Amino acid sequence: MLKLLFTISIKAFIDKQAGSAFLLVDAFFQNLHEETQIMSYTMKVLEQVIQKNPNEPEFHQALTEILSTLQPFVDANPEYEKAGLLERLVEPERVIMFRVPWVDDAGKVQVNKGYRVQYNSAIGPYKGGLRFHPNVCLSIVKFLAFEQTFKNSLTGLPIGGGKGGADFDPSGKSNHEIMMFCQSFMTELYRHIGPDVDVPAGDIGVGGREIGYLYGQYKRLRGAYENGVLTGKGIAYGGSLIRPEATGFGAVYYTVEMFKHFNEEIRGKTFILSGFGNVAWGAALKITEFGGKVITLSGPDGYILDEAGVNTPKKIAYMTEMLASRRNKVEDYATKFGVPFFAGQKPWKVKGDVAMPCATQNEVLMEDAEAMIANGTQFYVEVSNMPTSNEALEHLKQNVRGVAPSKAANAGGVAVSALEMSQNSMRLGWSEEEVDAKLKVIMKNIHDASAASAEENGFGYDLVAGANIAGFKKVAQAMMQQGTV
């Protein structure tokens, strides 16, 4: 009941009615006070952080999803409240915002806003990607950094949580303009990062080209070859094999482990994917290798339906060509291979066994979840960050056989980033087989830890709750042991 009320409350924020939504949340907590007299510690913290951070709907959504599942575990451990653990956990250690001036090819000065949220360093240096996209704002960067803290904990590797980016749109920009922007962005960011402080990586709009320009400027400013300061680098200057594919590969490895619970396998199943970037590309590669069939890809312009399957080397390679073109149009695939294109639509009404959102946050809403269920979707695997509204996620959990949460299923990317950090520290490089073997073990461990935590805390095989609890436990333990900092 409490979780449903959380979901109803946060949905109002996502509807972008900030003023009325805040009143709704306030009324919700007032009514809850009257009904229960004593509000739980977890709920009190959630109320406080929403009131202190108005007009941040994505951040509120992430907090609600995580804290609502943590409530039984946290409330059973009163030492957390005494130590003010949650109040510290929900507050970023540092938020950095800065202007990014640059000159375009026409000689005109442009100015964007840059961000870096260093959320939690209890178990390691801040770690998380940089996103260049017009919708980047403080709320989105905070939600990503908060989620990243738990995701990184799940990997079992010594990395804390952080995220950053800018409201810069790389689409349609020349290489020179991209370089100018990246150099200006790093001219401020370099003061706040380092191999043992904060290690950014790529995300939406930031690929190998951007990482190269960012590192080149960092090296020039620092006067030192500290290639461990960024991950997702080119192999020539310290990158790791499998890093571009890692998020998609990891999601499929996690799905394999989830399928074992249901005595299922990937072979013979159809997959509905959104996106066509590195994440979807990696997933399509590994699904095809394991005998599954991807039949949709999507972009901002709509989706394609390839009933024969995105399953040949030529088709999968073309995904990387589309990404490199910076046109950001999945229609190009339809034109190239003569398959149907559905402009302005999402792929979730297409019938398939497994749905895998691989694009961006909140791409799956309640109407999309209902369409999946009506089409007989059996499994739902979140591969992009928080792709599902809380309401839709609850509905899917109740109506499909298995749901894999993003902070667990898409942890393969950051896991291989951490392996890249290890290789840089040791001044060596591992083979593709070595990195892939380590990734498989990490994804299996994430699944097993999530399943065990869910079972131990009365959630059955709820991998969403299990991932939240498993990720939280390690961070909480480190914070308790390090004192009030």
* Tens digits of residue pLDDT in 41-88: 999 999 999 999 999 999 999 999 999 999 999 989 999 999 999 999
Number of domains in the chain: 3
Domain span including residue 294: 263-400
Contacts of 38 (CB under 8 A, 6+ apart): none
- Residue 442 lies inside a defined structural domain of this protein: no
Quick one: 47 and 147 in the same domain? no
Choosing from 89, 105, 131, the residue where a domain stops is 89
Quick one: 289 and 181 in the same domain? no
- Residue 245 lies inside a defined structural domain of this protein: no
Confidence check: pLDDT of 22 > 50 = no
The average pLDDT across 96-123 equals 98
- Residue 328 lies inside a defined structural domain of this protein: yes
Given this model, what pLDDT does residue 38 score?
61
Torsion of CA 39, 40, 42, 43, to 10 degrees: -30
Asked whether 201 and 232 are in contact (CB, 8 A), the reply is: yes
Confidence check: pLDDT of 403 > 90 = yes
**Percent over 70 (pLDDT), the chain:** 92
Quick one: 220 and 108 in the same domain? yes
Quick one: 169 and 113 in the same domain? yes
Quick one: how many helices (H) and strands (E) in the chain? 19, 12
- Residue 310 lies inside a defined structural domain of this protein: yes
What is the per-residue pLDDT across 215-227, written as a single tens digit (0 to 9) for each?
999 999 999 999 9
What is the per-residue pLDDT across 146-177, written as a single tens digit (0 to 9) for each?
999 999 999 999 999 999 999 999 999 999 99
Rounded distance between C-alpha atoms, residue 297 and residue 289, angstroms: 18
Quick one: 133 and 38 in the same domain? no
Lowest-confidence range among 19-23, 25-29, 295-299, 473-477? 19-23
Please provide the average confidence, as pLDDT, over all residues in the chain.
Answer: 93
Quick one: 85 and 99 in the same domain? no
- The enclosing domain of 295 has a CATH number of 3.40.50.720
Total residues found in the chain within this entry: 485
Quick one: 384 and 269 in the same domain? yes
Confidence check: pLDDT of 25 > 80 = no
- Residue 241 lies inside a defined structural domain of this protein: no
- Residue 469 lies inside a defined structural domain of this protein: no
- Residue 468 lies inside a defined structural domain of this protein: no
What is the per-residue pLDDT across 449-485, written as a single tens digit (0 to 9) for each?
999 999 999 999 999 999 999 999 999 999 999 999 9
What is the per-residue pLDDT across 270-311, written as a single tens digit (0 to 9) for each?
999 999 999 999 999 999 999 999 999 999 999 999 999 999
Rounded distance between C-alpha atoms, residue 473 and residue 306, angstroms: 43
Rounded distance between C-alpha atoms, residue 17 and residue 233, angstroms: 41
Quick one: 287 and 173 in the same domain? no
Given this model, what pLDDT does residue 326 score?
83
The average pLDDT across 406-413 equals 97
Quick one: 76 and 164 in the same domain? no
Pure H helices in 228-386: 246-261, 278-289, 313-325, 331-337, 366-374
Confidence check: pLDDT of 36 > 70 = no
- Residue 44 lies inside a defined structural domain of this protein: yes
pLDDT classification of 39: cutoffs 50, 70, 90: confident
What is the per-residue pLDDT across 415-451, written as a single tens digit (0 to 9) for each?
999 999 999 999 999 999 999 999 999 999 999 999 9
Confidence check: pLDDT of 232 > 60 = yes
Catalytic residue at 219?
no
- The enclosing domain of 161 has a CATH number of 3.40.50.10860
Who has greater pLDDT, 98 or 17? 98
Choosing from 89, 108, 124, the residue where a domain stops is 89
Quick one: 104 and 222 in the same domain? yes
Choosing from 89, 118, 149, the residue where a domain stops is 89
CB under 8 A, 24+ apart: contacts of 313-322: 316/281, 316/284, 316/285, 316/288, 319/276, 319/277, 319/280, 319/281, 319/284, 320/281, 322/276
Given this model, what pLDDT does residue 20 score?
37
Torsion region of 122: left, alpha or beta (phi above 0 gives left; psi -120 to 50 gives alpha)? alpha
The average pLDDT across 235-252 equals 97
Quick one: 200 and 323 in the same domain? no
Quick one: 228 and 121 in the same domain? yes
pLDDT classification of 29: cutoffs 50, 70, 90: very low
Rounded distance between C-alpha atoms, residue 375 and residue 352, angstroms: 7
Catalytic residue among 127, 151, 163, 286: 163
